[in-house]
Structures are given as structure tokens and as C-alpha cells.
Amino acid sequence: MARQTPSLPADPAPAEGYTVLARRYRPQRFAELVGQHAVAQALENAIKSDRVAHAYLFTGPRGVGKTSTARILAKCLNCEQGPTIQPCGVCASCKAITAGEDVDVFEMDAASNRGIDEARHLRSNVQYRPSRGRYKIYIIDEVHMLTREAFNALLKTLEEPPPHVKFILATTDAQKVPITILSRCQRFDFAGLTLPQIVGRLQDIVASEGREADPQALDLIARRAGGGMRDAQSLLDQLLSFGTEKLTAEQVYTLLGSAADDWVAELATAILAHNPAQALEALAELAGRGVQMSELVDQLLNYWRDLMVLNCAGEQVSDLNLPPHFRTTMHQQARAIPLDTILAGLDLLSSTRLRLVRSNHGRLLVEMALIRLARLEDLLPLTQLTQWVRQSGVAAGPPGAASPAPPPPKLGGLPAVEGVKKNGLMPPETGKNGHATRRLDEESLTDVWGQVLAQVGKFFAAQLEKAGLPAISRPNSLVLRFPVDYNQDRDYCSAPERVSKVEETLRKVTGEGWNFRVESSGVAISPSQVMNQPTAAAVREAEAVRTRRLKEEVEKEPIIKRAIELLGAQIVRIEEGFTLPEADATKRNESAEEA
């Protein structure tokens, strides 16, 4: 919870100039810190028990009080009435620390003093005792900006500094601080401030300034600040410079370049009603009013975020971006669309927001996003689609389906097969995986191999075509032989991942598992043959004709013919290099034996 905040400025503006609100209302005591009760309590207890560490690391978002806490701790330690948890604020040391002019408190910006020379200078000065206070205190802001060499130079000093030295490091990115530095410090994580905490503080400031403000205006400022008090105070300072006695929500919209909540709700309603024309019309009206496209996308992101929260948690959720009078409408919208559709919309808006940063066509990108959002149909989760496929064998349900389709009705004890006869044609044969299949044999080899080449990719297919048509070496086994001149292509195609790709494609086309291997034929091809090589289609056709002729000649062989007649055998394959026996050679051998 927030601590009690003062109603009057803590640091009045000097007579010679204006001091911004973020400086004039900077907390001066632990009790004035907003939203950091745990940190304040720990530091107070450390001072009371005399257990103040030699090095602290304050980390958290911007504008949440890290540097202010470091100054308060410095005043507690060096106050003339201390060490105390309640610095007087009137002694010379307290006033000098508040003004940033104390000779014993060094505030160093690591973003501009990040080198090893600055670290060496700091290390050489820590040995000297403080001029008037009890401690020499070093406050290093944005410490993660130091170079690696500078961090290394501080290691020993940070681990064992002199008794009169205290280090307070502050950063918004603790992940970039080396672990060797983290292990030498006591770390305190500052939380981002909540909307009620920021609004409460802004109300006190407005009252102290003698002005009035609509609650909705302060609420808009707090939401825009994103959990940072300094950002909220800077925005309030801009609004106060408008000069009107009362701050209104319209002034905030004008200052930020954002759209009114009513316009955002109207635009979102048109999108969710799948009416892109109305959404584009609303966008044109907002652009004419000077609304920034990035601000509008941020507001739509917040709207879709509220839809997501309402869809998951119900209407009782309290942390919404739009005012309460939109709650009923948004709750009805959140219940009318699936959560996956809302999440898809969030992804689309997030990507659009990132693209706006790098584009000069902001309105075009937003128009594209609105049209896509309006055309975004109800989505089904992947698990539901998988269940659909398993139950009914179809890839997707009808548009807008929110539950899996029931399994197909059964006829005669067996499930009905959809599309058994369509346009007088029988459906193709299907394998175990549900794909249409084509039996692979000598007659269909050319067509099946052509389907495989069409599915493995153009480049890979071009390499496979150089070997011509594969051969069925044995049942469920294909072999592709490359000439010796194509060793590089053979090595490329014989890689395990590419062989597996061909086998998987064969399984899809034929519905059966096939083994595929790549070999070398041992036949060389001359350069002229390579230049005059026929096309892949011609090679496949010639190979088919050669195989068919060879099979016919083999069937005429007396022994083979007799085996076919007696046993009903079939020629399954003809091994490479097969030659028909010659009768003349047999006769010559018999004559030689008789001689």
C-alpha cells in the first residue's frame, strides 16, 4: 500500500525559475515513498539495528523511486541528528543532499561516465575520508551502462570498501549487471506502481497546485504512465501548462493524440461484427481528429486484452482499461467469441504495433490490421482439430464450429464412408495414413516416381532426375543409380535426411513403406553425352520401353517359359546386367569337348 503523501510541495520552486513537478514533489522521507513499502521497511530496520550494508543495488522500472530512495538513505546516514530513519531536512547536510550539492554524496551517471578511467578515479578517491558527514556515499545511476573493464576495476573496491564508504547502485536492467557485481550487493527490486497509487499521488499534487481535475483525466494519465510515477508527473505538468482551471479528459486525449473511449469501443464493435467498411469509416474519422496511429493501436491492444481477461476470468475482474460503464458490453463481446480468436487478434495487433515503428505508412498498416481483424473468423485450437480428424477423418469443420463434429453415422454395423460414389467415380484407394494411394509396380513406376519428384521440391527433384528412373530391386525397395560422372549429385541425394524425405513421400503416394537407396551404376558418360542428354521425361519413357522389351524377351526363354506354365510364376524383377544365354555358345562348347 502507498505511504502517507504530503499535501504541499517538498521542494519549492526557486525564485529564479520554474522547477518541474517531478523534482518539486520528489519524496524526502521513507514515509513519502509511494508503492515501495517493503523496500522502505527493510532500509529502516537496517538503520535501526546498525546493519547498513556497504553496497546496495536498486533495480526496477523507470520512475518508481530508485534514485529518490538512494538520496533518502544518504540523508538518513549523514543527517546531523542521525543516523536516523527520520532525517530532519533542515540541517546543512540534508539541504545539500536534497539540492544535489553535498560534497560527500557523489551522484554519478554511468551512461556518460562508463569507462575504466572514471572507475579508476572513483577507486582512488574512496580512500579519503568524508569532508563533514559520517560517510562518503556514491550513487551510481544506470550502473548497467558501465563497460566490462569498469566493472572489473570496481570489483575489489565494491567488495571491501573503507568503513566510511557506501555504494548505492541503481539500474533499470539488472540482467546486464555482471554476477560478480550482484554478489557483492544487497539487491532490492522496486515494483511498478498501481493505478490507484498513481492517481492518489496526482490528486495530492493537483490540490497542492490549487487546481482541479476530472477523475477520468487523472485515470488516463495514470494508465499512460505505465506504472511510473515520474512519467505521470511529467504528463500532469504538461496538462497544467494548458492554463485552464480544471483538467478534463478531452485535454488528455488532445495532449496524447489518442482516441476517446467511446470511439475505441465503437471501432472495436465494428471489427467484432465483421464489418470492415464501418471500421475503416471510424478510422478515417479518428485520423481527421488528429489521433496518432500508434496510440490507437495501443488502445486497441488494451481493448483486446480486456476481452481476453473477461473471457477467462468473467465479469467480476476489476483490472480493466476502459471505464466501468463499458463492462457489460465488453463482457457480452468476450463471451460471443472464442478465446483463440481473441488471442489471434492480440498477435495481429502486436505485430502491427512493431511494424509501425519502422514504417512511414502508419495509416495503411492500421487499415490492413482492421480489415484482417474484421475478417478473422472463429478459430479452433489445434487439439480440437486433431480430435476432429481422428473422429471423422475430415480436415476441418464448418465455419464457426466450436466443438468437434460427431463421428459419421453407421450403416449395417459399419461406419458410412463419405463420398463412396461421387459423380459416378469410385474413390481412390487409401492407405493406413488416410492418403490416396497408388500401387507401385513396374507399370506404374513412371507415374509414381513423377508424383514423388513433384512433392520433394524443385531443387532436390532436379538432382534426382539426373539418374533417370529408379528400379524396383526387391519388394518394397527402390534403388536409384547415378553414373560415375555424377558423384557429387549422388552424394547429395544419398544424405540420410534426403533419403528419409523420399521414403516419406513414397509412403504418402503409395500408402506403403518403401526402402530407398542411392548407388553408382559404374557406367561413365562422356562430356558430349552429358551435353546431349535427353530430358527427364524422355529418359523415363525410354527406361519404361526398355524394361518392357527386356521382360518380353525373358518370357520367351524356354526355361522361364516352362516355369511360368508349370508353376504359374511371374517375373518380379530383372537384375541389372542380366543377359540372355546364347545357344551358339553352348554348341561351341560341346564341339570343343568332342574334339
Least confident range from 243-252, 392-401, 407-416: namely 407-416
263 vs 403 pLDDT, higher one: 263
Say yes or no to pLDDT of 432 above 60.
no
CATH of the domain at 94: 3.40.50.300
388 confidence band (pLDDT: 50, 70, 90)? low
Say yes or no to pLDDT of 595 above 50.
no
Among residues 136, 149, 152, the alpha carbon closest in space to that of 184 is found at 152
Exposure class string for 321-339: b at 16+ Cβ within 10 A, else e: bbeeebbeebbebbeebbe
Q: What is the mean pLDDT of residues 388-397?
A: 54
Residue 266 identity = E
Query: Do 460 and 575 share a domain, yes or no?
Result: yes
pLDDT at 282: 92
Question: How far apart are alpha carbons 271 and 138 in whole angstroms?
Answer: 55
Question: How far apart are alpha carbons 268 and 261 in whole angstroms?
Answer: 11
pLDDT at 70: 94
Residue 22 within a domain: no
3-state helix, strand, coil in the chain (%, to 5): 50, 10, 40
Cβ pair 554, 571 in contact under 8 A: yes
Q: What is the mean pLDDT of residues 434-456?
A: 77
pLDDT at 190: 93
Query: Do 361 and 440 share a domain, yes or no?
Result: no
Q: 189, 210, 230 — which closes off a domain? A: 189
Query: Do 444 and 593 share a domain, yes or no?
Result: yes
pLDDT at 537: 52
Q: pLDDT tens digit string along 454-513?
A: 888 877 888 888 888 888 877 778 888 887 767 777 888 888 888 888 888 888 888 888
Here the cell at position 510 is 503409395
pLDDT at 481: 84
Question: How far apart are alpha carbons 538 and 546 in whole angstroms?
Answer: 12
Contacts of 392 (CB under 8 A, 6+ apart): 404, 405, 406, 407, 408
Contacts of 383 (CB under 8 A, 6+ apart): none
Q: List phi, psi (to 5°) of 150.
A: -65, -40
Among residues 266, 283, 270, the alpha carbon closest in space to that of 374 is found at 270
Among residues 478, 470, 476, 441, the alpha carbon closest in space to that of 570 is found at 441
Question: How far apart are alpha carbons 136 and 162 in whole angstroms?
Answer: 10
Among residues 246, 253, 252, the alpha carbon closest in space to that of 213 is found at 246
In the beta sheet, which residues pair with residue 167?
A: 55, 138
590 vs 119 pLDDT, higher one: 119
Residue 471 within a domain: yes
Residue 403 within a domain: no
390 confidence band (pLDDT: 50, 70, 90)? low
Here the cell at position 249 is 479528459
Q: pLDDT tens digit string along 112-141?
A: 888 888 888 898 889 889 888 899 999 999
Q: List phi, psi (to 5°) of 22.
A: -60, -30
Say yes or no to pLDDT of 41 above 70.
yes
Q: What is the mean pLDDT of residues 526-538?
A: 46
Question: How far apart are alpha carbons 404 and 422 in whole angstroms?
Answer: 25
pLDDT at 391: 63
Q: 339, 374, 409 — which closes off a domain? A: 374
Query: Do 184 and 265 share a domain, yes or no?
Result: no
Query: Do 185 and 273 share a domain, yes or no?
Result: no
Phi-psi category of residue 174: left, alpha or beta, with phi > 0 → left and psi -120 to 50 → alpha: alpha
Residue 241 within a domain: no
The pLDDT > 70 percentage for the chain reads 78
Residue 243 identity = G
The pLDDT > 90 percentage for the chain reads 30
Contacts of 158 (CB under 8 A, 6+ apart): 55, 167, 181, 184, 185
Query: Do 361 and 457 share a domain, yes or no?
Result: no
Element holding 55 (H helix, E strand): strand 55-59
Say yes or no to pLDDT of 57 above 90.
yes
Q: 333, 352, 374 — which closes off a domain? A: 374
Contacts of 332 (CB under 8 A, 6+ apart): none
Is the N-terminal amide bond of 83 cis, ω within 30° of 0?
Answer: yes
pLDDT at 443: 77
Q: List phi, psi (to 5°) of 428.
A: -70, 155
CATH of the domain at 492: 3.30.300.180
- Reported as half-sphere exposure (CB side, CA atoms, 13 A), residue 346 has a value of 14
* Residue given cell 570343343 in the structure block: 592
Q: What is the mean pLDDT of residues 241-256?
A: 83
Query: Do 369 and 435 share a domain, yes or no?
Result: no
Give the three-class secondary structure for 192.
coil
Provide the Cα torsion 587, 588, 590, 594; round to 10°: 130
Among residues 328, 321, 253, the alpha carbon closest in space to that of 291 is found at 253
Cβ pair 259, 252 in contact under 8 A: no
Exposure class string for 27-39: b at 16+ Cβ within 10 A, else e: bbbbbbbbbbeeb
Query: Do 442 and 577 share a domain, yes or no?
Result: yes
Residue 267 within a domain: yes
Here the cell at position 212 is 482541479
Residue 8 within a domain: no
Question: How far apart are alpha carbons 102 and 16 in whole angstroms?
Answer: 21
Q: What is the mean pLDDT of residues 316-344?
A: 82
Segments forming the whole domain that contains residue 98: 36-189
433 vs 1 pLDDT, higher one: 433
Query: Do 182 and 273 share a domain, yes or no?
Result: no
Question: How far apart are alpha carbons 467 and 372 in whole angstroms?
Answer: 47
Among residues 319, 300, 297, the alpha carbon closest in space to that of 309 is found at 319
Q: What is the sign of the dihedral through the CA atoms of 273, 274, 277 and 279?
A: positive
Would you give the DSSP letter of residue 430? B
Where are the alpha helices (H) located in 160-248, listed in sequence order? Answer: 179-182, 195-208, 215-225, 229-240
Residue 382 within a domain: no
Question: How far apart are alpha carbons 173 and 59 in whole angstroms?
Answer: 7
Q: What is the mean pLDDT of residues 349-376?
A: 91
Residue 50 within a domain: yes
pLDDT at 382: 64
CATH of the domain at 281: 1.20.272.10
Q: What is the mean pLDDT of residues 368-378?
A: 86
75 confidence band (pLDDT: 50, 70, 90)? very high
Query: Do 441 and 575 share a domain, yes or no?
Result: yes
Q: What is the mean pLDDT of residues 272-294?
A: 91
Query: Do 351 and 453 share a domain, yes or no?
Result: no
C-alpha separations of 21 from 100, 101, 224, 241, 254 in Å: 17, 20, 17, 12, 21
Query: Do 157 and 298 share a domain, yes or no?
Result: no
Would you give the DSSP letter of residue 175? G
* Residue given cell 486484452 in the structure block: 305
Task: Work out how many domains the chain is built from and give that number.
Answer: 3
